[in-house]
Amino acid sequence: MMNATELFQQLTGSAPERVWSAPGRANLIGEHTDYNEGFVLPFAIEHRTHAAVGRRSDNIIRVASTFDPNPVEVALVELPALFGGAPGEAVSSGAVPEWAAYPLGVAWAALARADAKHDDVAGLDIAINSEVPVGAGLSSSAAIEGATAGAIDDVWGLGLTLLDMAKIGRTAENHAVGAPTGIMDQVSSLMGETDAATFLDCRTLETQEVELGFAREGLKILVIDTKVKHAHSTGGYRERRESCEKGARELGVSSLRDITVGDLDRARSVLDDVTFRRVAHIVTENQRVLDTVDTLRAEGPRAIGGLLVASHVSMRDDFEISVPELDTAVTAALEAGAIGARMTGGGFGGAAIAVVEADKLAATKEAVASAFARAGFVEPHQFTVTPSHGLLRDA
């Protein structure tokens, strides 16, 4: 397949000024806690999305992707009308294909955050190519947002920080695409470091790098992509978010971050059963993230298996976002001797991760593949990911 530079060349007939890239991410633990102002522990992976960019002499922004044969162009002056609906309103204009709303939404949000006007900056050509599988729970969306934000910041000279870019990506996703997701994916993609995870407090947006030690200890992270597709802009994700808001409201707190494991008995007596179980997942998951950070630092990566498994069980039984394919993946990996395993990402499909001894990798993959075959599921796509660095200027 063509890379971003080649696509840029084909699009414009000249070489790009710059190429930036940002990775996908996997979440080690902390699921659906981000929009509840809680804790997450994701890491960037080696699969990256590249954005090649060059300025134009007019005020048009044109985006192209190896995903789609047709480039999309709009005048910079039109971006606010496309995406800038009422605050909080998810604007999915339909005027551009959904994929183009990611890079165009980033351009719109970057101008707004930098307090720049459309006539302060040059038009752009942006060509995008991605190695990150889409809809597999590895956040190809944050990767395209991050790569685009890095490229735009550079050629427009906006002076944005990584945290600014993360917020811009979230704004694009929430308001241009219309997916009500949190900020974890963007922070993780942009700020990743080699063999480390990013501990993010989603309330304060403070981050700490947490060494994983997987490489040192000879451990691999196996991703089991079930090929069951999810869509975050619709359905279950939104419903879970609403349940969390309801739970917080009925418990009299601004977000579930303010509820701790010790408060759960009271919560059970106040809330209906479903809302209680949604709340219980968030509250216990926050504690598991804190425990995972402490355990990694005190005992190392082999000691976190029980926390990963408890996280999966909580998502399966209390938050109810797993699917049979994900449960099968986790069970088969654990039976084959994985240190820990859990579904990762927003749920309703996507991928599971398993932490596996390097010398058990092949046997674990085989065990998972045969469990899927026995259950009559489509063969999963299995591959390893390596915790890697975040945003980079490539050229």
Residues forming the active site: 185
Pick from Mg ion, ligand ADP, none: which does 25 bind, CB < 5 to 8 A by kind? none
Pick from Mg ion, ligand ADP, none: which does 74 bind, CB < 5 to 8 A by kind? none
Q: 75 or 134: whose CB is closer to Mg ion?
A: 134
What are the residues facing 53 on neighbouring strands? 18, 126
How far from the centroid of its chain's Cα atoms is residue 155's Cα? Answer: 25
Q: 109 or 310: whose CB is closer to ligand ADP?
A: 109
Q: 47 in helix, strand or coil? A: strand
DSSP 134-178: TTSSS-HHHHHHHHHHHHHHHHHT----HHHHHHHHHHIIIIII-
Residue 319: which of 31, 36, 35, 38 has the closest Cα? 31
Pick from ligand ADP, Mg ion, none: which does 144 bind, CB < 5 to 8 A by kind? ligand ADP
Q: 39 or 348: whose CB is closer to ligand ADP?
A: 348
How far from the centroid of its chain's Cα atoms is residue 144's Cα? Answer: 11
Shortest distance (Å) from residue 231 CB to ligand ADP: 6
Compute the distance between CA of residue 335 and CA of residue 330 in angstroms, rounded to an integer. Answer: 9
Q: 257 or 342: whose CB is closer to ligand ADP?
A: 342
What DSSP element (H or E) covers 49? strand 39-55
Pick from Mg ion, ligand ADP, none: which does 99 bind, CB < 5 to 8 A by kind? ligand ADP
Pick from Mg ion, ligand ADP, none: which does 49 bind, CB < 5 to 8 A by kind? ligand ADP
Measured CA to CA in angstroms, residue 130 lies from 147, 285, 365 at distances of 10, 31, 25
How many CB atoms are located within 10 Å of the residue 50 CB? 27
Compute the distance between CA of residue 257 and CA of residue 135 in angstroms, rounded to an integer. Answer: 28
Q: 71 or 85: whose CB is closer to ligand ADP?
A: 71
Q: What phi and psi values does residue 308 have, to the nearest 5 degrees?
A: -65, -45
Residue 62: which of 77, 76, 42 has the closest Cα? 76
Pick from ligand ADP, Mg ion, none: which does 390 bind, CB < 5 to 8 A by kind? none
Shortest distance (Å) from residue 192 CB to ligand ADP: 15
Q: 301 or 345: whose CB is closer to ligand ADP?
A: 345
Stretch that binds Mg ion, among 136-144, 197-205, 260-268, 289-297 (CB under 5 A): 136-144
Instruction: Give the footprint of ligand ADP on this chain (CB under 6 A).
Output: 49, 65, 67, 98-99, 102, 128, 130, 134-135, 137-141, 144, 232
141 near Mg ion, rule: CB under 5 A: yes
Shortest distance (Å) from residue 290 CB to ligand ADP: 25
Compute the distance between CA of residue 280 and CA of residue 263 in angstroms, rounded to an integer. Answer: 10
> What are 319's two structure tokens?
């938050």
Stretch that binds Mg ion, among 72-80, 94-102, 138-146, 261-269 (CB under 5 A): 138-146
Shortest distance (Å) from residue 130 CB to ligand ADP: 3
Which one of 36, 65, 139, 344 is in contact with Mg ion (CB under 5 A)? 139
Q: 321 or 371: whose CB is closer to Mg ion?
A: 321
Q: Are 288 and 32 in contact (CB under 8 A)?
A: no
Measured CA to CA in angstroms, residue 70 lies from 44, 97, 168 at distances of 30, 10, 25
Pick from ligand ADP, Mg ion, none: which does 130 bind, CB < 5 to 8 A by kind? ligand ADP
Alpha-carbon radius of gyration of the chain: 21
292 near Mg ion, rule: CB under 5 A: no
Shortest distance (Å) from residue 276 CB to Mg ion: 28
Shortest distance (Å) from residue 222 CB to ligand ADP: 18
DSSP 257-282: GG--GGGHHHHHHHS-HHHHHHHHHH
Positions touching Mg ion (CB under 5 A) are 139, 141
